[in-house]
Structure 1
Amino acid sequence: MPWLVLDPEGGPVEPIRRYLYDFSARNRPGSVRSYAYGLLRWWRWLRAVGVQWDKASPAEVRDLVLWLRAAEKPRNSPRRTSAATAGKFNPITRKRNLGDGYEPRTVRHSNSVVRSFYEFWIEIGEGPLLNPVPLDRRGRRPHAHHNPLEPFRAEGKIRYNPKVPRSRPREIPDEHWKDLFGAMRSNRDRAILALDISCAARASEILGICGVDVDWGDQLVRVRRKGNDAEQWLPASPESFVWLRLYLAELGPLDLNDPVWWTLRRRDHGDGLRRHPMNYDALRAVLRRANKLLGTNYTMHDLRHTAALRMSRDESLSLRDVQTILGHAHLSTTADIYLIEDEAQVIRRVAEHLAEREDRARQPLPPVAVGYEAADLAVLFGGLPR
């Protein structure tokens, strides 16, 4: 088992262990870790309220949701420089910084984890009769109009899920992108950003690239998709390959099956000083240093959004092309996220409309035709048209 939840005596919690054993056979290790932490929170909550796991009711789920919405997240170290900006909007990027409390998406994920856990035990007949995480069906019969040619899907939403406001994709403007790229301190960091802004891959997919996954002739990189681990070749910009070549020249000989991205500093972990493969925490540190210098709060996922929005506005690319590059399973996912009106363009057009109205209001009224009285026309039509 890649992850386990331990009891106070140091032994594995058997109900969670059996669930994660089944869950790990169907999902990636990263998902197992996320679900294990969600069940750890649920187990601590049941211990705090004095309820056995197979005796839990919707009341315990409701109270946990209320507690998560009011509590502060535990932190390994107290906030220092970010204490004044937690939960507030950045004036440059106009993005909200994460606060000290649990976000609505975290609460929704917690509910999904607990519901999945009890669905497993109800299915094998060793759990409670009813799932303590109920669904709101609003009085409709489940699968009332089901198409027999399509598979059954879960209907209804979890009752105590908080609403998540829909937000538009976070795009980095061109002038801010130049500042962010200029804040990089090594050819490795420049290569990562240039590669990500051109191929729109996720951060974990970029970090998983090996030497054999780089096609220098056709300027392609092969990534392994986050959801299904499928391999896919993505085109990248010539500029990104220039920075990649400069970085590899500094790194030295690289085996084709070795990761492309390595730490710049050599560290001793008991086997002598040597470089280590770059992980997600090291990549976050690169962005954190740049954000501190620029006063921004950009993330690697902002680069993916920026690349996708650039492609969606290109008339030579279809929406199906964008879907393929992003690796979305459904075309509707790409359309719902990226087929939106650019907010900056809307503001510009509305401002031009208001300015044009002001110009028309300052122009003199046209003369009235012979035989008509201007006052009579104003009463009849409510003022002469401009």
Structure 2
Amino acid sequence: MGVQRVVADGERTWTVVGEDHLPAGPAEEYLEFLRVAQRASPNTVRSYAASLSRWWDYLTAAGLSWDEVTLPSFTPFLTVLRTGDPPGVSRLPAGAGGQMAAESTVAARVTAVLSFYRYHADVHQVPVAGRLYRVSTRGGSYVPGLAHLQRGRDQLRPAVRLRRHACRPVPLLTPLQVEAILDGCARWDAACGEWTGSVRDRLMFATLAETGMRLGECLSTRHCDWHAGRGGTPFIEVVPRQDHPAGARVKNSRYRRIHISDELERLHSEYLWQLCDAGAHQALDLENHFVFVNLCRGRWLAPLRPETVYDLVATLKRRLGSAVPDGWTPHWFRHTHASALLLSGAREHVVMRRLGHADIQTTLSLYGWVSEDAELAALAGWRRFCAGWDGRQGSSGE
């Protein structure tokens, strides 16, 4: 089994194919449900297709039929995901030091497979889901405030529970590293009175650093989405669209407005003038075209692809050397932006809306450690804080 990229009607997607190079029927039906009914992003479909491909490989190796799986036959799949070993193979203690898959990766694979069976249970009454789920019973004395709304409703939970490790601090870029990346793209030459380098590249990374947008959201913006201040604060509209040739899109399909600095707005204006000087406004409707386009490589003015951005990142890593971390990616700008906002005292729900998270718990899970760590660091001076307590004992009773 394998994951195959498919281009249909100009849109890119993925499916699961067998040794005969034909789509696996049950898997493709579920993936089509994700595409059409759930409006899942291409990246989500790709992730689910990869998980189902691993599941089909396991079924083939174990000699199981996809619609006759039981809980005992499902459990070894977790070991296969963690170790990468074929079913029935056990590692000796001396060889147990190999690379193991992260528990978050295992959880994502299992979630995809369980969702696949939930779909086929609802649509085709395939009984496997009934064996892999169980009715939850809440123990202990704690009762949620809205528990009365769930009376009479059975809550199904996976019979296989995976322990998720606490989220590690996300990788960040320091202000000097961000500036090094921006200067590595383009610099303002005061002697010549003009920019040297690629203003497009500087604008792209500056936008990621200042707005916290995802790379797909940044690449899908158009010039009409950028609004000059005109006496107010300039802003960028993040508009959900599905027409980027490379599949770049706004996650969760949520519209939002991100206010930006005058400096970033001026940089966009400079880039726009450079495009006009090159004749871009005569070749197409520049106002309604994508902001970030090909200028040298590929078809001129074609929308920039994420792969091109990652090639640029690799070039900057070689050029800047030890001035930047070896593993930095465009998504590090998003982590850095969110962490800086929280350290500056911005409220969590404000950061959530600026980043476009669907739930505040996502913001807290990823970046809550930032403000928590700052508060804990403030307790380092607890001796000085408590020193003022000396001599006050009994003063209120005298």
| TM-score, normalised with respect to structure 2 | 0.69
What CA distance in whole angstroms lies between the structure 2 residues aligned with 1:26 and 1:236?
Answer: 32
Work out whether residues 65 and 160 of structure 1, in 8 Å CA contact, stay in contact via their aligned partners in 2: no
What CA distance in whole angstroms lies between the structure 2 residues aligned with 1:170 and 1:136?
Answer: 39
Alignment of 1:358-377 (within 5 A): none
What CA distance in whole angstroms lies between the structure 2 residues aligned with 1:152 and 1:243?
Answer: 56
Shift of 1:193: 1.6
Secondary structure in 2 matching 1:4:
strand
Shift of 1:40: 1.7
1:115 to 2:121 alignment: no
Secondary structure in 2 matching 1:298:
coil
Secondary structure in 1 matching 2:185:
coil
Deviation track 1:249-280 (CA, whole Å, cap 9, x = no partner) reads 3333352221111123232xxxxx53421122
1:188 to 2:200 alignment: yes
Work out whether residues 194 and 239 of structure 1, in 8 Å CA contact, stay in contact via their aligned partners in 2: no
Match of residue 270 from structure 2: 246
Letter in 1 for 2:350: D
Secondary structure in 1 matching 2:14:
coil
Work out whether residues 62 and 160 of structure 1, in 8 Å CA contact, stay in contact via their aligned partners in 2: no
Match of residue 179 from structure 1: 180
Match of residue 194 from structure 2: none
1:329 to 2:328 alignment: no
Match of residue 309 from structure 2: 283
Letter in 2 for 1:261: F
Letter in 1 for 2:55: W
Work out whether residues 111 and 158 of structure 1, in 8 Å CA contact, stay in contact via their aligned partners in 2: no
Shift of 1:285: 2.1
Work out whether residues 216 and 306 of structure 2, in 8 Å CA contact, stay in contact via their aligned partners in 1: yes
What CA distance in whole angstroms lies between the structure 2 residues aligned with 1:164 and 1:153?
Answer: 28
Match of residue 292 from structure 2: 261
Instruction: Give the 3 Å change call, closer, same or farther, for CA 125–342 of structure 1 in structure 2.
Output: closer
Higher helix share: 2
Work out whether residues 115 and 132 of structure 1, in 8 Å CA contact, stay in contact via their aligned partners in 2: no
Secondary structure in 2 matching 1:65:
helix
Deviation track 1:153-172 (CA, whole Å, cap 9, x = no partner) reads 96656625353332123332
Letter in 1 for 2:335: H
Secondary structure in 2 matching 1:159:
coil
Alignment of 1:1-386 (within 5 A): 2-24=13-35, 25-30=37-42, 31-71=44-84, 102-131=101-130, 133-134=132-133, 137=136, 140=139, 146-148=147-149, 156=157, 159-184=160-185, 186-217=198-229, 218-224=233-239, 226-252=250-276, 253-254=280-281, 255-267=286-298, 273-292=299-318, 293-295=320-322, 296=325, 297-315=327-345, 317-340=346-369, 341=371, 343=373, 350=380
Shift of 1:49: 1.6
Instruction: Give the 3 Å change call, closer, same or farther, for CA 342–22 of structure 1 in structure 2.
Output: closer
What CA distance in whole angstroms lies between the structure 2 residues aligned with 1:190 and 1:153?
Answer: 54
What CA distance in whole angstroms lies between the structure 2 residues aligned with 1:60 and 1:291?
Answer: 46
Work out whether residues 349 and 360 of structure 2, in 8 Å CA contact, stay in contact via their aligned partners in 1: yes
Structure 1: tracts of 5 or more residues without a match: 73-98, 268-272, 357-386
Work out whether residues 38 and 113 of structure 1, in 8 Å CA contact, stay in contact via their aligned partners in 2: yes
Structure 2: tracts of 5 or more residues without a match: 1-7, 86-97, 187-197, 241-249, 385-398
Work out whether residues 209 and 336 of structure 2, in 8 Å CA contact, stay in contact via their aligned partners in 1: yes
Match of residue 381 from structure 1: none
Deviation track 1:329-351 (CA, whole Å, cap 9, x = no partner) reads 3334434443434657866974x
Deviation track 1:127-180 (CA, whole Å, cap 9, x = no partner) reads 125445446957759x99734189989665662535333212333222222223
Letter in 1 for 2:337: A
Shift of 1:199: 1.4
Instruction: Give the 3 Å change call, closer, same or farther, for CA 71–241 of structure 1 in structure 2.
Output: same
Instruction: Give the 3 Å change call, closer, same or farther, for CA 339–12 of structure 1 in structure 2.
Output: closer
Work out whether residues 70 and 128 of structure 2, in 8 Å CA contact, stay in contact via their aligned partners in 1: no
What CA distance in whole angstroms lies between the structure 2 residues aligned with 1:239 and 1:152?
Answer: 55
Tell me the number of residue pairs that the alignment of Structure 1 and Structure 2 aligns: 323
Instruction: Give the 3 Å change call, closer, same or farther, for CA 5–214 of structure 1 in structure 2.
Output: same
What CA distance in whole angstroms lies between the structure 1 residues aligned with 2:150 and 2:68?
Answer: 38
Secondary structure in 1 matching 2:15:
coil
Higher strand share: 2
- Report the aligned-residue RMSD: 3.6
Letter in 2 for 1:43: W
Match of residue 378 from structure 1: none
Work out whether residues 221 and 236 of structure 1, in 8 Å CA contact, stay in contact via their aligned partners in 2: yes
Work out whether residues 195 and 237 of structure 1, in 8 Å CA contact, stay in contact via their aligned partners in 2: no
Shift of 1:113: 0.6
Secondary structure in 1 matching 2:67:
helix
Shift of 1:205: 0.8
Work out whether residues 61 and 132 of structure 1, in 8 Å CA contact, stay in contact via their aligned partners in 2: no
Instruction: Give the 3 Å change call, closer, same or farther, for CA 199–15 of structure 1 in structure 2.
Output: same
What CA distance in whole angstroms lies between the structure 2 residues aligned with 1:101 and 1:263?
Answer: 40
Instruction: Give the 3 Å change call, closer, same or farther, for CA 153–251 of structure 1 in structure 2.
Output: farther
Instruction: Give the 3 Å change call, closer, same or farther, for CA 129–62 of structure 1 in structure 2.
Output: closer
Larger radius of gyration: 1
Letter in 2 for 1:180: I
Q: Matched residues, percent identical?
A: 21
